[in-house]
Chains A and B, each alone.
Chain A
Amino acid sequence: MNEKNKWIDDIIESANSLGRVEPRSVVFDNILSEIEAEKIQRIPLSKIRYSIAAAIIIVSVNIYSVLDISTNESNQSSTDNELISNYNIYE
């Protein structure tokens, strides 16, 4: 029993025996290139704002033109009906 406890204690205490290790020097270079890559990928806020404004303008112009066409069509169809209602052109 004592032998087992000692064996376990020795293993737990072996944590103190670990030496400190350093990362490879390439790690810092990788960090710098990752930071640069993220900088390139990151879209500035002003660009996002301009894109949103452009999208809103495009959508509203589209909505306006669709509405305009549909009102024109309904007006046109009513006049068509009037014209079509009378086929006796030579009377």
Chain B
Amino acid sequence: MNLKYLKKIRVIVSLLFFVVITIMIINPQKNFPQDIIIFFTSLQLVPSILKTFFYIGFSTLGLIFVLVISLLFGRVYCSSICPLGTFQDIIIYISRKIKKKKKYEYQKPNYLFHYSFTILLFSGVLLGFTSLLNIFEPYSIYSRTITNLVEPGFILINNIIASLLEKISIYNLFNIPLRNTNALIFFLSSFLLVVIVYLSYYHGRLFCNSFCPAGAILGLISRTSILKIAINTKTCTECGACEKVCKANCIDSETKKINYPACISCFNCLKVCPTDAVIYNKTKYLELKVNLSETPRRNFLKSAMMPVIGMLVTEINQLEKNQVEKSNYFKIKKLPISPPGSQSIKHFSNLCTACHLCVSACPTQVLYPTFFEYGLGGILQPSMNYTASYCNYDCTICCNICPTGAILPQNQENKKLIQIGKAEFYKYDCVVVAKEKECAACSEHCPTKAVYMVPYKGNLKIPELNNDICIGCGACEHACPTTPRKAIYIIPNAVHQKAKKPEIKKQEQIEIPEQFPF
């Protein structure tokens, strides 16, 4: 049977995933179909594992699908679904175009390191320290790189074209405001990109077989996968062609053995074997000679799940309640406000792998990546930035697309009642008090009228708060014109609350004037 076409299929599928995921993340005009985003992210292994513990939905199906295909075909995930995998393959492809004689050599895999490292990543999550996972989770690395390094480039190009078209009164393309970039985020994203490019250029899929948590999990599963690559000892001429193209360094052509946990099912070996001695077949026909001395699978999976279970029982730390004597604006600004649907700052920070998909999808651009706002354990995780914008009352995009369940899916009615923070009003900074002039920008923007105007001096009206119905969307804070401090601002709720529904005073339905009053 000719199996050389398998590589072609793998390349086509991987490019399809790669291109769609990339466009989905860049999404500059914010109109990429949500369902497609949900579909493609649900197939990302580590995010779906995390999400499944809190929400049974598409991601659960995606997770089952990935596990099933891994049991059937080995680590095909790593060479087709994973965008970082395909990205590395592209670098590897380029490296081999540049260095024609480049060849890979069998390397004894360091399982011990890979597995202990993966356990370390997940234990971090257990202890509320997600930063390590944030740095090494492959989908998040890719998504973050695109959001922070590639998307701004696209926006710049879009804006240049838009401004040229604007000159001839064509407004089909529009100017997209650029997010302010945090230098640390930019630096870390670039640094990781350079590391990934370096590793893949010189060492093939070393990252996937040494650091990647998804690689470790799928490696374990693929040991028992039904279809496996194998070398037919009878027809093999020991030419070593397969070993030379094996970017996962898992083929030992001398002993004719393959390290299954490291094999990413890229099928390059099938393609190059001159005698078709490399086969892809059912396990029972093969002689399994794999050393399985490392951590038993069950223990490993257990330890991988423990952190997530742990999160369920982790106590939630209440934020210190601030006494308001003078404006706390700058003090409050140091605390993160987690997006609606994230339940609590703790939940969000524990589960968010900082893929920044919500950041790039947020239509109002209120979600901003932060570096240290969530502390050392939650680097790069996004928070609500009310200086930049405010949360749209009817929008649920971030809730619906979050791949890890850090933000859990919400319907519109629920989302409108999630209180992520409360407004606080410091009247001495308010235009009405300081300048004795009308303003009401805060009340104007408030979608629930939690900020409403009451009589002050003469005809002047001053804002008053009804925090029972405040949802902490930040519209008031964003609109407040005072500088450098805002007179009204949102204090985060460490644990999100449920707001009351706005009270409704029904107006006369019809009031067509009989006579004009003038």
Same complex origin of A and B? no
**Hey, which bits of chain A sit against chain B, CB under 8 A?**
none
